[in-house]
Amino acid sequence: MPRFLLIILAILTVAAPPGDAQVRFKRGSLTFAQSAKSATLQVEVADTAAARAQGLMHRTRLPEDAGMLFIFEETGHWGFWMKNTLIPLSIAFIGPDWRIVDIVDMAVAADPKEGPFPIYQSQKPFKYALEVNQGFFKRKGLGVGAVGTFRLSAP
Kindly give the confidence (pLDDT) of every residue in the chain, 155 residues in length, as a single tens digit, with 9 standing for 90 and above.
444 443 344 334 334 444 445 789 999 999 999 999 999 999 999 999 999 999 999 999 999 999 999 999 999 999 999 999 999 999 999 999 999 999 999 999 999 999 999 999 999 999 999 999 999 999 999 999 999 999 999 77
- The pLDDT score that the predictor gives to residue 21 is 57
- Residue 50 dihedral angles phi and psi, to the nearest 5°: -65, -40
Structural domains in the chain, CATH included, are 3-152 (2.60.120.1140)
Q: What pLDDT does 155 receive?
A: 74
pLDDT given for residue 23 in this prediction:
86
Per-residue confidence (pLDDT) for residue 96, from 0 to 100: 98
> For residues 32 and 11, what is the distance between their CA atoms, to the nearest angstrom?
30
CA proximity to 125, closest of 14, 4, 1:
4
Instruction: Estimate to the nearest angstrom the gap between the alpha carbon of 144 and the chain centroid.
Output: 15
Burial environment of residue 28 by CB neighbours within 10 A (0 to 12, 13 to 18, 19 or more): middle
